Structure 1
Amino acid sequence: MEQPPQEVFGNWQHAFEEDAHGIAVYRPAGNSFASSEGCEKLEIRQDGTFSRVVPGPSEAPDIIKGEWEQTKDKLIHVSYESPGLAPQQLEIIESKPDILKVRKL
């Protein structure tokens, strides 16, 4: 399986205040930036597994597990284990150790 750039792998926290023009910006989880509490988190692993952590209806977050595969250069397809969740395409716009930018297609 072809893999995205090495910098894509890891734990990422949505920095929604940096989003622009349909591009979602993520910073390494645990990195200090404004409005970090209650944000979506992603974990992209080299073994093809994927997790999304989203604020839940209670104080506990919901963890949504799935798998990813690279379908084209800089494009990954994510399918979720939870019934009723549609697969998602993520276009990798930029990946560096301190930032991940994706467009959700």
Structure 2
Amino acid sequence: MEQPPQEVFGNWQHAYEEDAHGIAVYRPTANNSGSSQERERLEIHQDGTFSRIIPGRSEVPDVIKGEWEQKKDKLIHVSYESPGLAPQQLEIIESKPDILKVRKL
């Protein structure tokens, strides 16, 4: 299976204050700014698994599991296990050890 750049893999926390022009910015979870319970997180693994962790109504976040598949050079397709969730395309704009920028298509 083709894989995105190595830097894409890991645990990422949404740095929404850095978002601009339709591009979502994520930082490594270890470098969190603000409470991690208040921010969306992504876990992207080399084995093709994907998790989206979103703040829940209680203190326990909602974990949405899925799988990713590379479609083009910097485009990954995410399908979720939850029946009501539509698949999502993520275009990787930038990936470095300290930042991940994606455009959700």
Fold agreement, TM-score > 0.5: yes
Counterpart in 2 of 1:20? 20
Q: Which runs of 4+ in 1 moved over 6 A?
A: none
TM-score, scaled to structure 2: 0.96
Q: Per-residue CA shift, 1:71-96, capped at 9, x if unaligned?
A: 01100000000110000000000000
Q: Distance in 2 between matches of 1:35 and 1:22?
A: 23
User: Aligned partners of 1:2 and 1:58: how far apart in 2?
Assistant: 38
Q: Which moved more, 1:40-49 or 1:28-37?
A: 28-37
Residue 30 of structure 2 corresponds to residue 40 of structure 1: no
Deviations 1:29-86 (A, max 9, x none): 0204246541000000000000000011211100000000000110000000011000
Aligned to 1:68: 68
Q: Alignment RMSD, CA only?
A: 1.1
- Give aligned pairs, total: 105
TM-score by length of 1: 0.96
Residue 52 of structure 1 corresponds to which residue in structure 2? 52
Write the distance in 2 (CA, Å) between the matches of 1:57 and 1:34: 18
> Is the 1:68–1:78 contact (alpha carbons within 8 Å) kept by the matching residues of 2?
yes
The amino acid that maps onto 2:65 is: K
| 2:30 partner SS | coil
Q: Which has the higher helix share?
A: 2
Structure 1 runs not aligned, ≥5 long: none
Identity over aligned pairs, percent: 84
